Amino acid sequence: MKNMSDLFHNGQSYAQFRPSYPAEVARRVAELSPGSSLAVDVGCGTGQFSTLIAPYFDRTVGCDPSSAQLQGRALAPGLDYLCADAGELPFRDHCVDLLSVAQAIHWVPLAKFNREACRVLKPGGILIVLSYATCYLVDKHLNALFQDFYWGPFHRFWEPERKIAESNLSGIDLPGKDIPQGETTLRKTMTYRDFRGYLETWSALKTAEQSGPEGRQEFEDFMTQLHRVWQPDQREIEVRWPLTIKITRMVDSVHQQNGH
């Protein structure tokens, strides 16, 4: 796999066009946490989830390996950011109440991260992973065009790790005792330009551009086709993303198994 930080350059667009997480999720995991001293958001990007959990903790730290993403970071009281890797978290043992990973677990070295989660989380600490799958548009004609493009030849530009998000975290094992969750859906009303802006944040598009001019041209050809059907530009369409949430709680047996 190539360096994840090479695939994300425009943090401002990421913050503007990506869907937002439900505030209720942040409130719930804060209530589950054993304390309110420290929350750490891994793969935080521009801080979309970091800002949601920050009000519930004395200190929240967003960690991301991409300095470009962090340049577009959102600010909030008690919220700091560090350029750091998920496999080597810069925190002492058993000091974290809540550890979160929002739309980044497919980029994380899972075995290393799981060990780090066991190390930094307090006994009873909470680990939450959020991942949204491929979006769909409520307009059936636009959605048919989009799905054909996404799953068609252009899909070759997605990293293999993308399958984790597409499969709703299937096969992802996390340390700790599972706290069962229901499924939910993210929604965002978008114009044509908004939706194009969202697609421009795709790591697959960066890979396509790096492959040569034909990769970008495939994208532009699709956008031209989509634009013809979307008219007028300011027409608003609801876009939805199925959201999967996994929550676990650290228990003594897990800490002992991992030498912590």
Question: Which residue type does 121 have?
Answer: L
Which residue range forms the structural domain that includes residue 85? 4-135+161-187+241-257
Contact of 125 with 97, CB cutoff 8 Å: yes
Main-chain phi, psi angles of 153, to 5 degrees: -55, -30
Q: Within a 13 Å sphere around the CA of 163, how many CA atoms are in the beta-carbon half?
A: 6
What is the DSSP pairing of strand 237-249 with strand 121-132?
Answer: antiparallel
**Is residue 201 a part of any domain in this protein?**
no
20/165 Cα distance (integer angstroms): 16
Residue 212 belongs to a domain: no
Q: What sign for the dihedral angle of Cα 174, 162, 171, 28? A: positive
Establish if 110 belongs to a structural domain.
yes
Q: What is the pLDDT of residue 183?
A: 83
Domain assignment present for residue 197? The answer is no
Which CATH number covers residue 53? 3.40.50.150
Query: Taking every pair of C-alpha atoms in the chain, what is the biggest distance, in angstroms?
Result: 60
In a domain, 21, yes or no: yes
Q: Is residue 154 part of a domain?
A: no
Report pTM: 0.89
Residue 220 lies in a domain: no
Coil, strand or helix: which one is 74?
coil
Q: What pLDDT tens digit does each residue of the chain (260 aa) get?
A: 344 444 445 556 767 888 999 999 999 999 999 999 999 999 999 899 999 999 999 999 999 998 888 888 889 999 999 999 999 999 999 999 999 999 999 889 999 999 999 999 999 999 999 999 999 999 999 999 999 999 999 999 999 989 999 999 988 999 999 999 988 999 999 999 999 999 999 999 999 999 999 999 999 999 999 999 999 989 999 999 999 999 999 997 565 566 66
Residue 224 lies in a domain: no
Total domains present in the chain: 1
Output b/e per residue, 72-81; b: 16+ Cβ within 10 A: bbbebeebeb
